[in-house]
Amino acid sequence: MNGTNNEPTSEARESFRNIFVQLLVQPVEVVEGDELEIKGWGKDEKEFAEKLVESACCIANAKGGAVLGGIEGKQATFSKCPYPNVSSAWIETRVKDQSYPPAIAHFIESCDRSLVDTLGTMALVRSSSAVVK
C-alpha cells in the first residue's frame, strides 16, 4: 500500500502477478506458504468470510502476508465471485469485526485490474496480530 489510499504499490502488483502466474502452472499447495494462504469461495458468504478471517488471523500471527480468496481446487481454478454482497468493504469489515484485536486488512481490488477481471480473484493483504472472535 502506498499510504495515501488503498492503491497497491508497483511492488505489490508485481508480487500478486507472480503469484497468479505460479498458480497457473503449479498446484496450490506448492504456491502456498508461511506468508500466503489460498481459499475457495465456500458454500455461501458466511463460510467465505469464516475462511478468510481464520486464514487472516493465522497469517497475522506469523510474519504477515496475504490471503487469496476465490481460488478453488488443488490445480487453481479461478472464477468471479458468486456472492453479490461481497466487496472490498464487506471483506475488510468481516475481518475487522470477527477478529480480536481487530486485524488490519487491506483488500487489493485493483492489484491488476486485468488479472482480477480475467481471473476473478480477491487478494487480502495481512499484517498484525489477532485471533478469531
Concatenated DSSP letters of 44-104: SHHHHHHHHHHHHHHHHHTT-EEEEESEETTTTEE---S-TT--HHHHHHHHHHTEESPPP
Phi, psi at 72, each rounded to 5°? -105, 150
**Rounded mean pLDDT for each run of 10 residues along the chain, 133 residues in total:** 54 81 92 90 92 87 83 85 84 87 67 48 56 75
pLDDT at 92: 83
pLDDT in the model for residue 50: 93
**If we measure between CA atoms, which residue out of 88, 87, 99 comes closest to residue 50?**
99
Question: Domain-by-domain residue ranges, the chain?
Answer: 10-132
Give the 3-state secondary structure of residue 106: strand
Q: What is the pLDDT of residue 44?
A: 95
Hunting for cell 489460498 — which residue is that? Answer: 38
pLDDT at 51: 92
Provide the pLDDT for residue 47. 95
| CATH architecture of the region 10-132 | 2-Layer Sandwich (3.30)
Cα-to-chain-centroid distance, residue 75 = 17
pLDDT at 29: 94
Q: Are the C-beta atoms of 83 and 38 separated by less than 8 Å?
A: no
- pTM for this prediction: 0.78
The confidence score (pLDDT) of residue 6 equals 52
